[in-house]
Amino acid sequence: MAVKIIMTWDIAPEREQEYFEFVVREFIPGVQRMGFELSDAWATVFGAQPQIMVGAVLPSANEAKQLLATEEWKSLNNQLQDFVYNYSHKLVPARGGFQF
C-alpha cells in the first residue's frame, strides 16, 4: 500500500532567500532522485499552523522507512534544518486529496 510522508516546518525569517535557493536547487531534486513522488506543497499565509507543508508519495511503508534511514535523506534533512524550525514529518496511508 502506498504511503505519504507529510513534512511541515516554518522558515527561519533571517534565512528566507537561502532557504528558497536550497529547496529549489537541492532539496526537491534530491528527494525526487531518491524516489519520492512529490504530491503536495502548501503554504500557510494566516493562522497558527506550520508555514510549509509538503507531501510525497512512496510505494510502501517499508520503502519509505528504508529511504528515511539512508545517508542521502539524512544529509538533505540536516541541510534543511539550517533554514527551518518546528520541523516534523509523519508517514500516513496515501489517499487522494489533501491530507494533514
pLDDT tens string 3-14: 999 999 999 999
Structural domains of the chain ordered from first start: 3-93 (3.30.70.100)
Per-residue confidence (pLDDT) for residue 5, from 0 to 100: 95
Task: Read off the C-alpha cell for 61.
Answer: 511503508
Residues 37-69: pLDDT tens digits? 999 999 998 888 999 999 999 999 999 999 999
> Cell numbers 510525497 label which residue?
56
CB atoms within 10 A of CB 74: 11
Backbone angles phi, psi at 16, to 5 degrees: -60, -50
Contact at 8 Å (CB) between 83 and 22? yes
Task: Read off the C-alpha cell for 76.
Answer: 538533505
Euclidean distance between CA atoms 19 and 27, whole angstroms = 10
CB atoms within 10 A of CB 22: 19
Global pTM value: 0.90
